[in-house]
Amino acid sequence: MDIWKYLSASDKPKVIYGMGNGADKILSVFADYGIECSGVFASDDFYRPGKSFHGMPVERYSDLCRKYRDFIVLVSFATSLPEVRKNILAIASERELYAPCVPVYGDTLFTDEYYKEHSSEIASARQLLCDERSSEIFDNIISYRLSGRLEFLFKAEDDPDEVWKEILRPGDYRIIADCGAYTGDTASQFIEKCPNLKRILALEPDPRNFRRLRTLEDDRVIPINKGAWDKAEQVEFNMGAGRGAAQGKQGKTVLLDFDTLDSVTDGERIDYIKYDVEGAEDKALSGSIKTIERCAPDLLVSLYHRTEDIFKLIEKVHTLCPAHKLYLRRFSYIPDWDINLYAIKRT
């Protein structure tokens, strides 16, 4: 029984921890399943008397503990902060708590029916992974998405430094394409980790992020105010959507420039490509086919933005790079963000 069926069958009050886009999506699923929301609460640092969310007063956890003898807590926000995680675990020690998986982009839920419908594709993608740890992570992600239980997330966490030591080949990376450069966080990692680095082509379409990206004081970082796509065009994006711009027409929108990585590289040899492009990974890969065929670079592809990414992108990367080894790793986050597929050229 998936998390949504379980919540539908439970008589306990259901309360949402947090506000924002994640809470909006959970409430939308509640409406589809006929689930009643019995309250919303915020962390003490974010609590403000008189504030409301979807017509419900925003309360404190302690208020709801006085109101209900028992209730189910549903975490609706994303975090990698240790202190916030500690608070979530403290609540989980007292109450039944879940972090339901709602996709960053799109509305497709990973339900029992979805799993059955795509079971053969899921199994095929799993078989393409090259080591036992990758299979363990894959299995735990599937279990988490169906159940919303934190224990599966925690079993699928890895140390980023171990990835650099055991999977990636930083000494071989001279020219890097950073698709979804954000404000330069990963570019800074490349500068630190890659001793023979010559140049980073840092693609970032969001003008707010791009302004900060340009402040990196290293001439090897080449900021490019474009997003990675499958063709050259301007795309309408919502500028009020969390970490970066999001495709869609709700809220303030702006036209942003996108292009293929094949066009941006213009025949230049690329040793490593990172794709963390806010749900556009499939299109960005399609716009890199010539570069991948020509250079056989190592790849990092994010797999968490869309529900289908966890299997469809694995299959796509294998098709593009049949001679590469495929590793799956995930870093500490609630919910199942920071899922990375590494495609490494066999040596």
* Residue that the structure tokens 């363990």 belong to: 136
Structure-token pair, residue 156? 């699928």
Is 326 in contact with 341 (CB distance < 8 Å)?
A: yes
Matching fold, domains 3-100 and 167-302: yes
What is the domain partition of the chain in residue ranges?
Answer: 3-100, 167-302
What is the residue type of 87?
Answer: N
pLDDT over 90, % of the chain: 91
Architecture of domain 167-302: 3-Layer(aba) Sandwich (3.40)
Structure-token pair, residue 51? 């504030």
The pLDDT tens digits of the residues spanning 93-104 come to 999 999 999 999
pLDDT at 250 over 60: no
Reported as type and span, the H/E element at residue 326 is: strand 324-330
Structure-token pair, residue 11? 């008589």
The pLDDT tens digits of the residues spanning 283-302 come to 999 999 999 999 999 999 99
The secondary structure of residue 195, as a DSSP letter, is: T
The CATH number of 3-100, from 3.40.50.720, 1.10.3720.10, 3.30.1600.10, 3.10.110.10, is 3.40.50.720
pLDDT at 245 over 80: no
Q: Any idea what the Cα angle at residue 126 is, between residues 122 and 128, rounded to 5°?
A: 125
Enumerate residues 6+ apart whose C-beta is below 8 A from 177.
200, 201, 203, 261, 264, 265, 270, 272, 273, 274, 291, 297
Distance, CA of 294 to chain centre: 28
- What burial class does residue 125 get, using C-beta atoms within 10 Å of its C-beta: 0-12 exposed, 13-18 middle, 19+ buried? buried
pLDDT at 254 over 70: yes
**pLDDT band for position 237 (cuts 50, 70, 90):** confident
**pLDDT band for position 46 (cuts 50, 70, 90):** confident
pLDDT at 240: 61
Strand locations in 186-297, DSSP E?
199-203, 221-224, 227-228, 233-238, 246-247, 253-259, 272-275
pLDDT at 45: 79
Q: HSE (CB half, 13 Å, CA atoms) of 178?
A: 27
Q: How much of the chain is in helix, strand and coil states, percent to nearest 5? A: 35, 20, 40
What is the residue type of 106?
Answer: G
Distance, CA of 217 to chain centre: 28
**pLDDT band for position 239 (cuts 50, 70, 90):** low
What is the residue type of 34?
Answer: G
- What burial class does residue 87 get, using C-beta atoms within 10 Å of its C-beta: 0-12 exposed, 13-18 middle, 19+ buried? middle
Of residues 115 and 43, more confidently modeled? 115
Is 80 in contact with 339 (CB distance < 8 Å)?
A: no
**pLDDT band for position 247 (cuts 50, 70, 90):** low
Give dist(CA 103, CA 106) in Å, integer: 6
pLDDT over 70, % of the chain: 96
Give dist(CA 31, CA 15) in Å, integer: 14
Average of per-residue pLDDT across 222-234:
97
**Bridge-based pairing state of the strands 52-53 and 39-41:** unpaired
pTM tops 0.85, yes or no: yes
Bridge partners of 246, per DSSP, are 238
